[in-house]
Amino acid sequence: MITEGLMQALPIKLQGILQGYQYILPELVIAAWILVSIVGDLFLVGGSEKSTRSWRYLIAQGGLILALLLAYQRMHHSTEGFVSFRMLWVNPGANAINCLILGIGFIIISINQYQQKSFSFEEKIGFFSILLGSLLTSLSIHFLSIFLSIELMSLGTYLLVGLRKDTEGVRAALPYVLFGMGTSAMLLYGLSLIYGITGTMQILDPAFSRGLATADAYLAGMALALVGTGILFKMSWVPFHPWSPDVMESLPASWMSWISTAPKIAVAWLGIRLVHFVPVSMQDVIALLAILTLLVGNLGALNQLNAKRLVAYSSIAHGGFLAMAWLMPAEQGVDNLLFYSLVYSLSTILVFYILDEVETPGYQENDMDQWAGFGQTYPVRALTLFIGFIALIGLPPAGTFLAKVNYFSQLWEKYQITQSNSILILLVTAILMTAISIYYYLRIPFQMYFKKGDAIHPADTLKNNWIYWVLTCGIIACMLFPTLIYSIWKA
């Protein structure tokens, strides 16, 4: 009788599982596309390097377009549901985040293809691993899926960081991998402690919040701190930031942009879900770490003479801005994170690609001088780079101006409600650091327009101006049409 009952229930269970997976079709497409790209490489053996590279890009673009269309359809229909034994939760906010991550990936791959940059097998696997890990991280609500998604994202990052086999590449990659292994162990240990405290691995289970609320304060605090360590490492927050400048300096623009955006956005979204279970006292700790991150990122950028390291330090500060959404009310935090992530990603891609394109050997120690006269020799490229820096500062006409104004206003409103000194200090620090960033971001434009000298002679002929105009127009459009941007993911 028991066997007959199981056999009768099995088709119903299988049907329910299959119906659930329709919610995560974009993520399944990317997972399948990894296998397709691996098998596809078997048929490319023996071909020329150019044709192999072209086919790899086309296959990657095909998967990204299909996944992006499915994700947009899912977002447009406001699809919501639990998948994979309640390990993943598809919801409107996660839908919008995943659309953004897929869009960033498509932009980077398309620019790489147009500029005929290398796309080796290792780069392809690293790119897709970060992509799939980021997509799943934004959906994860179970300890197992959270850990596996973050580790998948990390493995892809390790692969891209370790591509350079010279001394500088190894020196940059080794600390990052060691830091990553240590923080992964801390994350796993923290999750296991929380499971012991709450008796559940599902963060939406009422037992999760109830268990944390009634647990011993020191034990719960230690568990949350360990989990926070694993998350904040991906955000390059202080004190887990030292790897960032060396790694960013050693990577090409495409992978600098990718590592600086997709993982940070996915983890910032995960943090929004987790932080609401954190005691108020721990939120003061988050505010303190955000303050330190803003200080270290901005003050560290002040004395940088290498343009890539300057932007790498500033990306630490932007990681602090992204995660400031954790301290806002849920709905406002989601909206502000989405908008800030969009304009930050476009700005980062624009600046990193131009810096990489005009990099000249021989200026590794002091490459500020190489920009002298660049504004006169390459006026179009100089203007787009200038707008990119304006966007990273957060000044008009860039969309980051509105994004930062939203952040500041929401923090001020929270301070008025809570009268929390940590929130007020964070707000003041964020405003002051934004003002300080004007100095170091505009050092290169000052060299371009007000210093005379022989303009750098990049290997590229700098004829791809339309790519950068598209990114620049996107940055400005976020400022001019914010209502339209919001309506797209709230449709």
Phi-psi region of 46 (alpha: psi -120 to 50; beta: other; left: phi over 0): left
**Between 379 and 365, the higher pLDDT residue:** 379
**Tens digit of pLDDT for each residue in 464-487?**
667 788 888 888 888 888 877 777
Structure confidence by residue, pLDDT tens digits, 433-468: 999 999 999 998 998 888 876 655 554 445 566 778
CA 329 to chain centre: 21
Question: What pLDDT is attached to residue 454?
Answer: 62
Q: pTM for the complete prediction? A: 0.91
Q: How far is it, in rounded angstroms, from Cα 29 to Cα 6?
A: 32
CA dist., res. 328 & res. 105, Å (int): 28
CA dihedral 55, 467, 260, 284 (to 10 degrees): -140
What is the pLDDT, as a whole number, of residue 460?
A: 45
**For residue 365, what pLDDT is reported?**
43
Q: Which pLDDT tens digit goes with each residue over 200-239?
A: 999 888 888 888 888 888 888 899 889 988 888 888 888 8
Helix 217-234 to helix 143-161 angle, to the nearest 10 degrees? 30
**What is the arithmetic mean of pLDDT over 327-338?**
81
Q: Mind listing the pLDDT tens digit for each residue in 184-203? A: 999 999 999 999 999 999 98
Residues in Cβ contact with 92 at an 8 Å cutoff, skipping those fewer than 6 apart: 75, 78, 80, 489, 490
pLDDT of 291 reads 93
DSSP state of 47: S
What backbone phi and psi angles, to 5 degrees, belong to 264? -65, -40
pLDDT band at 362 (very low <50, low <70, confident <90, very high): very low
The reported pLDDT for the residue numbered 69 is 92
**What is the pLDDT, as a whole number, of residue 144?**
92
307-325 per-position pLDDT tens digit: 888 888 988 999 888 888 8
Q: At 98, is the pLDDT very low, low, confident or very high (cuts 50, 70, 90)?
A: very high
* pLDDT over 50 (residue 363): no
pLDDT at 11: 61
CA separation for the pair 245, 308 (Å, rounded)? 8
Q: What is the pLDDT of residues 251-277, one digit of tens each?
A: 887 888 899 899 999 999 998 888 877
Identify residue 172 by its one-letter amino acid code: A
Confidence of residue 10 (pLDDT cuts 50, 70, 90): low
Q: Which residues contact 461 (CB under 8 A, 6 or more apart)?
A: none
Number of H helices, E strands in the chain: 21, 2
Higher per-residue pLDDT: 50 or 267? 267
pLDDT computed for residue 370 by the predictor:
79
Average pLDDT, the chain: 83
| Sequence letter at residue 359 | E
AA letter at 377: T
pLDDT higher than 90, residue 148: yes
Give pLDDT, residue 354. Answer: 85
Residue 387 scores a pLDDT above 60: yes
pLDDT in tens, 396-406: 888 888 889 88
pLDDT digits (tens, 9 = 90+) for 290-308: 999 999 999 999 888 888 8
Distance CA 464, CA 166 (A): 30
Look at residue 23 in the predicted model and tell me its pLDDT: 82
Both structure tokens of 367: 């490459």
Which carries the bigger pLDDT value, residue 483 or residue 73? 73
SS (H, E, C) 159-171: HHHCCCCCHHHHH
pLDDT of res. 428 = 94
